Chains A and B, each alone.
Chain A
Amino acid sequence: MRIESEKQLRDYRKKLIEADKKLVKKIMVCHGPGCLASGAEKISAEFEKQLKKKRIKGVSIESVKKTGCHSFCEKSPLVAIEPAQVLYTRVQIRDVAEIIEKSVKGDDVIERLVYHDPKTDEAIEKYPDIPFYKHQTRIALRNLGKINACDIDDYIRVGGYDAAVKAVLHMTPDEVIDEVKKANLRGRGGGGFPAGRKWESCRKIEADVRYVVCNGDEGDPGAFMDRAIMEGDPHTVLEGMIIAAYAIGAKDGYIYVREEYPLAVINLQKAIEQAEAIGLLGDNIMGTSFSLRIHINRGAGAFVCGESSALMMSVAGHVGEPRAKYIRSVQKGLYDQPTVLNNVETYSNVPMIISNGADWFTSIGAPKNSGTKAFSLVGKVRHTGLIEVPMGTTLRTIIYDIGGGIQKDRQFKAVQTGGPSGGCLAEQHLDLSVDFDTLTAHGSMMGSGGMIVMDERTCMVDVAKYFLSFLVSESCGKCIPCREGLYQLYKLAIAISEGRGKEEDIARMERLSDHVVVGSLCGLGKSGPNPFLSTVANFRDEYLAHIVDHKCSAGVCKELIKFEVITEKCDGCMACISACAVNAITGKKKQPHIINQELCTKCGACVAACNRDAIAVF
């Protein structure tokens, strides 16, 4: 079957919906990044194995859906029972039989497995009632957790490819561009440049060959939104690219996926084949003269390749070095042809804008920042996971209402956004609206969506040192200010963290940062000093404590700390003694232990092993 009209798609969807109604119950096993890391594949296999043996009316092996990220990763592996909307958390293989018996065959809820409010211990059965989900609005992540990731039928059933059909068959390219422009969809990769304007400039350039490229490089450490979309809803990325290609007149598209995401490559490849099979990709799409081939390029582990010009160099098989941008890539991009490059999440928004209209999209979000933004909410927050909120939501809502506050009720210190190019915001910034302009105005940036929460046990000098070390190893080396400047900043940060810093080093680092910002060619260098600049702006006291008092109050910088047993708390269980790799801890059973400071390597194993918090870090 090839889909060549709106009616055909509608009829086909009707059939799919009818077939789906026959499944009385669905078991959504999350196969998102977090759940896969916690063994989700074994859980779904166990469900299939057990269902094969059982005969339950309206339930078959088809009822087991391997979905994209259900997003509440902290509680993984997750299993949702639909249509009841019951969410089971931390599901183990031994729980499968009970779930089938009680919630699939019957309609009972297993209270032990549902989410419990950490403060009141109240059991919350349905996931829409859990605060983590309640405050979210899902556009780009709309299908994650709801459909089988590798099934075009599931995607079509929930409204997929409606927008592509509408655009290609019923709209002119200019109308498509106008709609996206009116929606003011800004680049979700972090740049925030309006996608519609980018498409328009590309279309205006006279050329025989144009390209659409999707940036799936997601190099920012601490971010996995794009991974979740590419793995869990690959068709939405393709649909967005089809619409973009139609708008600008491209016949070839490339998706650049980073090397660390092998499953994204597999799922995107499957999705491309499925879409080609029914005439939504390939030659003469939907029976028109419009043709598009989408190719996948795997990255090879270079952070700089997330930069647009470096990415295009890499697609062409070269070393991924950025070039100067006096000629934009919409004029001369991939293979020197006009190219539109957008990020995964940007493309995922496009189908919804075409389907629902620009007015609907601009009704969500903040002024000049329409729509939503996906974040990976991670770090020292209680509920880690993948979230999507309307722009303009405050950091406080995200961290405290959705994220449930700080782990172990510790003190909040900072939140890092924007990856290595971004910055750290402090307590006084918690009520800021999260949007492109506000975050930039306060010394951080939106970035692609990593949101790393830090508590009192996170050292800000160490954080700056961490990002500088990352950037030093990822600088491509083309410009000296970036290659050498960041290295010198890194060396000074090491000196401060080891208590060898001088007070004038801070001013020296600030001066050097200015040079790196001005003298570097691409965004990586230009924003490289940001992690230092934003931490020193908001946490100067902490820098001074390292330099003047030789103290790391967070207990992180090894050279400045020591570990000691709190004798009153120690019950002499000997757990720390067996955890210590260098035999630095001595003591008898049921008697307080002692750490030999000369032997201690400050590796932290004893702290992790102690169940009574009896080892203090000074």
Chain B
Amino acid sequence: MKHDLAKIPEIIGRYPQQESSLIMVLQDIQKEFNYLPCEALEQTAEALHVPLSKVFSVSTFYNAFSLTKKGDVVVRVCIGTACHIRGARQIQEQLETALKIQAGETTRDEKFTLEVVGCVGACAMAPVVLTNEQYHAQCKVHTVKKLVSKR
């Protein structure tokens, strides 16, 4: 994926140039690049008149932000209570085995990132896995690896 850093000023410009816009700006940057590039943090700090340390603090506090690049496909295993009760941990282990990475890591070819997420609110269809925005309902332990087989 190519990253056009020239887009950063435009994203920052979408919101009032003040501290309260910080989270929204970072969200839009994260959405655009799939992570927060170093340059973006510096430019955000300057534009919103916020110390870089505070931008860093907010970027590392919230789970939605990532300081490292993610893979093309972000596989998110929901580990909410309903999913946990119906075997989300086994689902997670199957995907870890299939991708040869741990949750939170990205494959070396940068195709897949495996993550766990608190709850995506599709509890009745547990266990749930998302590949990017796509939901996969009622996943089965013995077939879930198919979701990451097209490499």
Cβ B141 vs Cβ A604 within 8 A: yes
Which residue from A260, A299, A466, A605 sits with its C-beta under 8 Å from B81? A466
Interface residues in B71-120 by Cβ distance below 8 A to A read 79-87, 90, 93-94, 97-98, 117-120
CB-defined contacts of B20 to chain A, threshold 8 Å: 315-317
Name A230's closest neighbour in chain B (CB-CB).
B121
Cβ B80 vs Cβ A221 within 8 A: yes
Which residue from B58, B63, B90, B137 sits with its C-beta under 8 Å from A37? B137
**With A37-B137, A302-B62, A317-B22 known to touch, is A378 a contact of B123 (CB < 8 Å)?**
yes
Which residue from B21, B79, B94, B141 sits with its C-beta under 8 Å from A317? B21
Cβ B142 vs Cβ A606 within 8 A: yes
Cβ A474 vs Cβ B118 within 8 A: yes
Interface residues in A354-389 by Cβ distance below 8 A to B read 376-380, 384-386
The distance in angstroms between the C-alpha atoms of A4 and B63, with both chains bound, is 44
Among B84, B87, B94, B120, max chain A CB count under 10 A is at B84
Cβ B94 vs Cβ A581 within 8 A: yes
Count residues of chain A with CB under 8 A from any CB of chain B. 65
Cβ B63 vs Cβ A386 within 8 A: no
CB-defined contacts of A3 to chain B, threshold 8 Å: none
Name B140's closest neighbour in chain A (CB-CB).
A608
Interface residues in B21-62 by Cβ distance below 8 A to A read 21-24, 26-27, 57-58, 61-62
The distance in angstroms between the C-alpha atoms of A476 and B58, with both chains bound, is 12
**With A320-B61, A604-B141, A606-B142 known to touch, is A260 a contact of B97 (CB < 8 Å)?**
no
The distance in angstroms between the C-alpha atoms of A46 and B116, with both chains bound, is 33
The distance in angstroms between the C-alpha atoms of A482 and B70, with both chains bound, is 31
How many Å from the CB of B132 to the closest CB on chain A? 12
The distance in angstroms between the C-alpha atoms of A419 and B63, with both chains bound, is 19
Q: Does B12 interact with chain A (Cβ within 8 Å)? A: no
Cβ B84 vs Cβ A376 within 8 A: no
Cβ A298 vs Cβ B27 within 8 A: yes
The distance in angstroms between the C-alpha atoms of A220 and B82, with both chains bound, is 11
The distance in angstroms between the C-alpha atoms of A69 and B80, with both chains bound, is 20
How many Å from the CB of B33 to the closest CB on chain A? 15
Q: Does A534 interact with chain B (Cβ within 8 Å)? A: no
How many Å from the CB of A489 to the closest CB on chain B? 18
Among A261, A262, A315, A378, max chain B CB count under 10 A is at A378
Q: Do most interface residues of chain A lie in helix, strand or loop, or is the interface mixed?
A: mixed
Q: Does A579 interact with chain B (Cβ within 8 Å)? A: yes
Name A315's closest neighbour in chain B (CB-CB).
B20
Cβ B125 vs Cβ A301 within 8 A: no
The distance in angstroms between the C-alpha atoms of A261 and B122, with both chains bound, is 10
How many Å from the CB of B106 to the closest CB on chain A? 18
Interface string of A589-610 (1 = CB under 8 A from B): 0000000000001011111110
Interface string of A8-35 (1 = CB under 8 A from B): 0000000000000000000000000110
Q: Does B64 interact with chain A (Cβ within 8 Å)? A: yes
**With A37-B137, A317-B20, A608-B140 known to touch, is A470 a contact of B124 (CB < 8 Å)?**
no
Q: Does A458 interact with chain B (Cβ within 8 Å)? A: yes
How many Å from the CB of B3 to the closest CB on chain A? 21
Cβ B142 vs Cβ A452 within 8 A: no
Total A-B residue pairs with C-beta atoms closer than 8 Å? 172
CB-defined contacts of A38 to chain B, threshold 8 Å: 125, 135, 137
Cβ A34 vs Cβ B124 within 8 A: yes
Q: Does A520 interact with chain B (Cβ within 8 Å)? A: no
CB-defined contacts of A608 to chain B, threshold 8 Å: 87, 90, 140-142
Name B82's closest neighbour in chain A (CB-CB).
A378
Cβ B90 vs Cβ A604 within 8 A: yes
Which residue from A299, A317, A320, A380 sits with its C-beta under 8 Å from B19? A317
Q: Does A222 interact with chain B (Cβ within 8 Å)? A: yes
How many Å from the CB of B116 to the closest CB on chain A? 9
How many Å from the CB of A479 to the closest CB on chain B? 15
Cβ B94 vs Cβ A458 within 8 A: no
How many Å from the CB of B140 to the closest CB on chain A? 5
Q: Does B8 interact with chain A (Cβ within 8 Å)? A: no
CB-defined contacts of B24 to chain A, threshold 8 Å: 297-298, 317
Cβ B85 vs Cβ A260 within 8 A: no
Q: Does A450 interact with chain B (Cβ within 8 Å)? A: yes
Name B133's closest neighbour in chain A (CB-CB).
A262
The distance in angstroms between the C-alpha atoms of A33 and B120, with both chains bound, is 9
The distance in angstroms between the C-alpha atoms of A120 and B26, with both chains bound, is 55
How many Å from the CB of B57 to the closest CB on chain A? 6
Cβ B122 vs Cβ A224 within 8 A: yes
Cβ A379 vs Cβ B81 within 8 A: yes
CB-defined contacts of B117 to chain A, threshold 8 Å: 260, 301
**With A33-B124, A603-B141 known to touch, is A300 a contact of B23 (CB < 8 Å)?**
yes
The distance in angstroms between the C-alpha atoms of A65 and B93, with both chains bound, is 40
The distance in angstroms between the C-alpha atoms of A222 and B24, with both chains bound, is 27
Which residue from A297, A299, A378, A603 sits with its C-beta under 8 Å from B124? A378
CB-defined contacts of B83 to chain A, threshold 8 Å: 221
Q: Does A454 interact with chain B (Cβ within 8 Å)? A: yes
Cβ B121 vs Cβ A261 within 8 A: yes
The distance in angstroms between the C-alpha atoms of A74 and B126, with both chains bound, is 10
CB-defined contacts of A301 to chain B, threshold 8 Å: 62-64, 117-118
Which residue from A36, A222, A474 sits with its C-beta under 8 Å from B82? A222
Among A34, A579, A609, max chain B CB count under 10 A is at A34
The distance in angstroms between the C-alpha atoms of A609 and B121, with both chains bound, is 27
The distance in angstroms between the C-alpha atoms of A316 and B22, with both chains bound, is 9
Interface string of A68-89 (1 = CB under 8 A from B): 0000011010000000000000
**With A221-B118, A380-B85, A603-B93 known to touch, is A37 a contact of B125 (CB < 8 Å)?**
yes
Name A318's closest neighbour in chain B (CB-CB).
B58
Interface string of A571-597 (1 = CB under 8 A from B): 000010001010000000000000000
How many Å from the CB of A43 to the closest CB on chain B? 14
The distance in angstroms between the C-alpha atoms of A452 and B62, with both chains bound, is 27
The distance in angstroms between the C-alpha atoms of A416 and B85, with both chains bound, is 11
The distance in angstroms between the C-alpha atoms of A299 and B87, with both chains bound, is 27
Which residue from A36, A297, A319, A378 sits with its C-beta under 8 Å from B61? A319
How many Å from the CB of B79 to the closest CB on chain A? 7
Which residue from B57, B81, B145 sits with its C-beta under 8 Å from A452? B81
The distance in angstroms between the C-alpha atoms of A288 and B63, with both chains bound, is 43
Q: Does A218 interact with chain B (Cβ within 8 Å)? A: yes
CB-defined contacts of B128 to chain A, threshold 8 Å: 37
CB-defined contacts of B122 to chain A, threshold 8 Å: 33-34, 36-37, 224
Which 3 residue pairs across A and B have the least CB separation, nearest first? A73-B124, A301-B63, A221-B80
Q: List 24 A-B contacts (CB under 8 A).
A: A33-B123, A33-B125, A34-B137, A37-B137, A38-B135, A221-B79, A221-B81, A221-B119, A223-B121, A259-B64, A260-B119, A297-B23, A300-B64, A301-B64, A302-B62, A379-B82, A380-B85, A380-B86, A474-B118, A603-B141, A607-B141, A608-B87, A608-B142, A609-B141
